Structure 1
């Protein structure tokens, strides 16, 4: 049994259901693939979104740290210049305790002091404040500590850099 379609070509009615079945199977496969890709895209979006939240929180913490860092610097300078006869004073011990607490917070947020003295001057990590006797382009003295978080400089260390002359 054959019919004639619009092109005047005979079409077998028996092959029509097979072609429709094949087309339906192909459509199901295509839709299944689209659904799988969409699900993978959604999962990737969720992962990226969570990572972005963590990054934002981390660098928001870094911004807070940068705001209170001058207070920490002042406490450290006060401790460095504390007269020897006051080292055992309870007030001085309290200041030392505050400094230790601050250092613990820094460690918890994975903020590290950058090493400066003896290092080759790096404008990404160091801010040259002065030059003086010493090996050329090598940091000879740290005037203010620098800090970094996961390889990113939060504050450059203020340093004195050797100019290649020998100290007299």
Structure 2
């Protein structure tokens, strides 16, 4: 038979074990709550980061659209004095019937326009006498030439232009054949 002391000892051990298990469960519950809280914080951070990114994407898209819409604004502003001078020249020529003055005025305006475009990085290509290059030239005709060897540009039909470092319009040329 089990003595009362032994029985009490077994009950005390069982109670102690049960108390220890309850403490472990409480600790695990506490750890689970901490992890759930951390997961919620991370979820909120993710949602804020996603919202920030969406706002950034919308803002940069709008800036890009505005830039495309108003990209030529500076150049147009620089060309307005040229337009004003054309208007003055036409008005003066019409009123005075002085076509020599009109020709001089148009020449001055052309130089003003050329200077404005050069300031923006536009350069006319020099084609005559150069070897034909399909990246810069568009051959519209081959001609026989005794003074130029084959593949050399002998005549420029339409000027070509380079804007900064890109071909804006290839030169239309006649090439010796």
- Greater fraction of residues in strand: 1
Following superposition of structure 1 onto structure 2, how do residues 113-132 of structure 1 map, counting pairs within 5 Å?
113-132=124-143
Residue 161, structure 1, aligned to residue 175, structure 2: yes
> Structure 1 CA distance, aligned partners of 2:66 and 2:165?
19
1:117 is paired with a residue whose SS is coil
CA distance in structure 2 between the partners assigned to 1:39 and 1:56 by the alignment? 25
Q: How many residues are paired up?
A: 132
Counterpart selection for 2:67 from 54, 57, 74: 54
Equivalent of 1:99 in 107, 110, 113: 110
- SS of corresponding position for 2:173: strand
Q: CA deviation at 1:99?
A: 0.2
Query: Which position in structure 1 is the counterpart of 2:55?
Result: 42
- Equivalent-residue separation in structure 1 for 2:102 and 2:131 (angstroms): 39
Question: Residue 49 of structure 1: CA displacement?
Answer: 4.1
State the alpha-carbon separation in 2 of the partners of residues 118 and 38 from structure 1.
Answer: 60
What is the TM-score with the length of structure 1 in the denominator? 0.57
Distance 1:59 1:123 in 2: 29
What is the aligned partner in structure 1 of residue 155 from structure 2?
141
Report the secondary structure of 2:155's partner residue.
strand
The verdict on how the C-alpha distance between 1:135 and 1:29 changes in structure 2, with shifts beyond 3 A counting, is farther
Aligned to 2:34: 21
User: Could you list the per-position Cα deviations for residues 54-99 of structure 1 after superposition, in whole angstroms to 9, with x for gaps in the alignment?
Assistant: 345547999x9xxxxxxxxxxxxxxxxxxxxxxxx53332121110
**TM-score after normalising by structure 2:** 0.54
Which residue of the partner structure matches residue 45 of structure 2? 32
Q: Which residue of 2 aligns with 1:78?
A: none
CA distance in 2, matches of 1:91, 1:137: 41
Structure 1 residue 144 displacement after superposition: 1.5
Cα separation, partners in 2 of 1:61 and 1:137, compared to 1, 3 Å: farther
